[in-house]
């Protein structure tokens, strides 16, 4: 095989930095990382697609046992040397089949949608807020807050509980900044044991790669502390859940300018958003119920998407397909200052590539069709009467994974964006997930019914 000079330069640099092995990582339909590892000496072969995979052994790739293998091609522009094990480099990878990108690979699907945006002159900016629980697993398997003093009814922004978990927080934060992601804020979030990391937005593909690596990194550093880190949407019924809010804008590929930006005084709605930005939101709302399946893709997700549930206060989670200003009871929010919109549906279990592909497709349709999202909602929608909600034309988001998958299956945008193969695989796996959950007898049912009847 002829040596690729660009790969050789990266290979030589990694050797000098002590790297001995390279992981080519892609994600399955759930967003879980998969991949193979090669010694640095074989990096040229890996870059040419030498690492082959039996697709039938993985969820969501649509292959039967008799079919030829898939291969992965690493994206060496996004390579990361593991801070905790510098002998290993990690790089995201795209699946191929027969030498061409494989359309059932969700990273490939996002790249295809980004190309469609580029045809319209747009780049897609994305920032994902990383909410995550740091917990201890007890001998009985239950999850507990590691700091016994972290037990306030409203623990958001609590400084003592932040400092008591500083060792883990510092490791994660130091790594984020060392990687050049520009961490600009972190805090104790709204639930006991919950924290949030906010770093600078990037192009959508880069941001999705970063979320994938963040999960890997945060879990590793928790394990070093003898703890567990999880972005599971709702680990506790009586606490708020983990969002992964998508902060979105489009940029002009020619100038780099933010197409959503607008002086609030020039915006009749007063949110500081251009008409293109409002049309993008209009498309997101048009397909909001179907998008929910990608943003919130697990059974557990819908324990988070409630107004209050078992909690003593409101949940902060969206339950309505609506938008507004800096009002967190909407599913789509325009933060103070405008220039971007935030989808609050997304949670910590999201496959970011899949969700980003679909929400971008919905927003671009909104721009093409000039979809008007209506007037923003400024009041507390949790307290809105059904009559008032219907009068405004505000629909509920799906309330179970089953309902979300049904909306996903019925929306033609999904197949147009993902192709029939990836659409059908998502429906198949998520329907099976719902059915498995529904057929499980829970401890709650035993406790409630076994002595009642």
CB atoms within 10 A of CB 253: 15
Cα–Cα distance for residue pair 230/210, rounded to 1 Å: 16
pTM for this predicted structure: 0.96
> What contacts 24+ positions apart, CB below 8 Å, involve 104-107?
104/60, 104/61, 104/62, 104/419, 104/421, 104/422, 104/425, 105/26, 105/61, 106/27, 106/29, 106/31, 106/351, 106/353, 106/354, 106/357, 106/422, 107/26, 107/27, 107/205, 107/208, 107/353
pLDDT higher than threshold 60 for residue 311: no
All domains in the chain, ordered by first residue: 14-102 (3.10.20.70), 130-242 (3.30.590.10), 245-453 (3.30.590.10)
C-beta separation of 293 from 404 below 8 A:
yes
What confidence tens digit (pLDDT) does each residue in 340-381 have?
999 999 999 999 999 999 999 999 999 999 999 999 999 888
SS3 sequence, 126-179?
Answer: EEECEEEEEEEECCCCCEECCCCCCCCCCCCCCHHHHHHCHHHHHHHHHHHHHC
Instruction: Give the model's confidence band at 2: pLDDT under 50 very low, under 70 low, under 90 confident, else very high.
Output: confident
Q: Which residues pair with 214 in a beta bridge?
A: none
pLDDT higher than threshold 70 for residue 315: no
Q: Coil, helix or strand for 269? A: coil
Q: Which residues contact 386 (CB under 8 A, 6 or more apart)?
A: none
Cα–Cα distance for residue pair 172/221, rounded to 1 Å: 7
What confidence tens digit (pLDDT) does each residue in 247-286 have?
999 999 999 999 999 988 889 899 999 999 999 999 999 9
Instruction: Give the model's confidence band at 292: pLDDT under 50 very low, under 70 low, under 90 confident, else very high.
Output: very high
Question: Which residue from 410, 430, 419 is spatially nearest to 108, judged by alpha carbons?
Answer: 419
């Amino acid at each position: 095989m002829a040596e690729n000079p660009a790969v050789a330069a990266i290979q030589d640099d990694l050797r000098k930095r002590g790297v001995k092995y390279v992981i080519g990582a892609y994600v399955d339909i759930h967003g879980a990382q998969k991949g193979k590892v090669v010694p640095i000496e074989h990096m040229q072969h890996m870059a040419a697609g030498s690492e082959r995979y039996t697709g039938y052994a993985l969820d969501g790739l649509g292959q039967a046992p008799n079919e030829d293998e898939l291969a992965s091609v690493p994206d060496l522009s996004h390579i990361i040397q593991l801070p905790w094990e510098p002998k290993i480099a990690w790089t995201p990878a795209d699946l191929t089949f027969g030498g061409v990108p494989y359309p059932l690979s969700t990273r490939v699907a996002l790249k295809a949608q980004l190309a469609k945006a580029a045809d319209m002159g747009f780049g897609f900016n994305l920032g994902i807020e990383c909410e995550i629980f740091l917990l201890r697993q007890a001998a009985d398997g239950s999850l507990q807050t590691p700091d016994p003093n972290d037990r306030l009814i409203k623990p958001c922004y609590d400084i003592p509980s932040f400092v008591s978990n500083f060792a883990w927080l510092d490791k994660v934060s130091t790594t984020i900044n060392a990687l050049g992601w520009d961490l600009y804020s972190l805090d104790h979030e709204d639930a006991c044991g919950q924290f949030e990391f906010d770093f600078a937005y990037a192009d959508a593909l880069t941001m999705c790669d970063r979320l994938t690596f963040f999960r890997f990194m945060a879990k590793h550093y928790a394990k070093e502390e003898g703890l567990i880190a999880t972005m599971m949407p709702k680990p506790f019924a009586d606490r708020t859940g983990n969002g992964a809010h998508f902060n979105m804008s489009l940029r002009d590929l020619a100038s780099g300018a933010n197409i959503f930006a607008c002086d609030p005084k020039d915006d009749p709605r007063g949110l500081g958003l251009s008409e293109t930005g409002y049309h993008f939101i209009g498309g997101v709302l048009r397909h909001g119920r179907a998008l929910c399946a990608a943003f919130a893709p697990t059974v557990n997700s819908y324990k988070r998407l409630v107004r209050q549930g078992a909690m003593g206060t409101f949940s902060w989670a969206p339950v309505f397909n609506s938008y507004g200003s800096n009002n967190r009871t909407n599913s789509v929010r325009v933060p103070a200052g405008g220039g971007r919109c935030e989808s609050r549906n997304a949670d910590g279990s999201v496959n970011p590539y899949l969700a980003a592909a679909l929400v971008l497709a919905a927003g671009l349709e909104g721009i093409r069709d000039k979809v008007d999202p209506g007037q923003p909602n400024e009041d507390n929608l949790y307290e809105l009467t059904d009559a008032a909600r219907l009068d405004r034309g505000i629909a509920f988001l799906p309330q179970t994974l089953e309902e979300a998958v049904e909306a996903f299956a019925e929306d033609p945008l999904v197949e147009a964006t993902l192709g029939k193969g990836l659409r059908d695989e998502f429906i198949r796996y998520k329907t099976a997930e719902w059915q498995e959950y529904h057929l499980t007898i829970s401890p709650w049912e035993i406790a409630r019914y076994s002595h009642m009847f």
